[in-house]
A = this chain, B = another copy of it.
Amino acid sequence: MTRAGGPGAPGVDPQELWLARAQPRRGRRPAFSREAITVAAVTLADAEGLEAVTMRRVASEVGAGVMSLYSYARDKETLLDLMIDHVSGELPADAPLTGDWRTDLKAVGHLQRALMLRHPWLPAAVSARRTLGPNVLAFLEHALAALRPTGLDGAARLEVFSQLTAFVSGHVGYEIAQAAAARSPDRLAAEARYLAAVAADGRHPELAEALSAPGRPVTPEATFTRFLNRLIDGLDTD
Chain A residues proximal to chain B, CB less than 8 Å: 13-15, 18-19, 120, 123-124, 127-130, 132, 137, 140-141, 144-145, 148, 153-155, 157-159, 162-163, 165-171, 173-178, 180-181, 187, 190-191, 193-195, 197-198, 203-207, 209-216, 218, 223, 227, 230-231, 233-235
Cβ A187 vs Cβ B137 within 8 A: no
27 A-B pairs within 8 Å (CB atoms) are namely: A13-B190, A14-B187, A14-B191, A15-B193, A15-B194, A19-B197, A124-B124, A127-B177, A130-B181, A132-B194, A137-B198, A141-B204, A141-B205, A144-B209, A145-B206, A154-B206, A155-B214, A155-B215, A158-B210, A163-B174, A163-B227, A166-B171, A166-B173, A167-B227, A169-B174, A230-B230, A230-B231
Task: Specify the chain B residue showing the minimal Cβ separation from A176.
Answer: B128
Q: What distance in Å separates the Cβ of A159 from its nearest Cβ neighbour in chain B?
A: 6
Q: From the candidates B15, B130, B170, B215, name the one contacting A166 in the complex (CB within 8 A).
A: B170
Known: A128-B180, A163-B227. 4 other contacts (CB 8 A): A154-B210, A154-B213, A157-B210, A170-B173
Q: What distance in Å separates the Cβ of A100 from its nearest Cβ neighbour in chain B?
A: 18
Q: From the candidates B167, B193, B212, name the one contacting A171 in the complex (CB within 8 A).
A: B167
Q: From the candidates B15, B141, B167, B206, name the one contacting A206 in the complex (CB within 8 A).
A: B141
Q: What distance in Å separates the Cβ of A214 from its nearest Cβ neighbour in chain B?
A: 8
Q: What distance in Å separates the Cβ of A190 from its nearest Cβ neighbour in chain B?
A: 5
- Residues in chain B near residue A167, CB distance under 8 A: 166-167, 170-171, 227
Q: From the candidates B124, B154, B214, B234, name the one contacting A234 in the complex (CB within 8 A).
A: B234
Cβ B163 vs Cβ A171 within 8 A: yes
Cβ A210 vs Cβ B145 within 8 A: no
- Residues in chain B near residue A127, CB distance under 8 A: 123-124, 127, 170, 173-174, 177
Task: Specify the chain B residue showing the minimal Cβ separation from A168.
Answer: B170
Q: From the candidates B130, B216, B235, name the one contacting A155 in the complex (CB within 8 A).
A: B216
- Residues in chain B near residue A123, CB distance under 8 A: 127-128
- From known contacts A127-B173, A173-B169, A194-B15, infer whether A234 and B223 are also in contact, taking CB-CB under 8 Å: no
- Residues in chain B near residue A130, CB distance under 8 A: 177-178, 181
A114 to B62, alpha carbons, bound, how many Å?
44
Task: Specify the chain B residue showing the minimal Cβ separation from A194.
Answer: B15
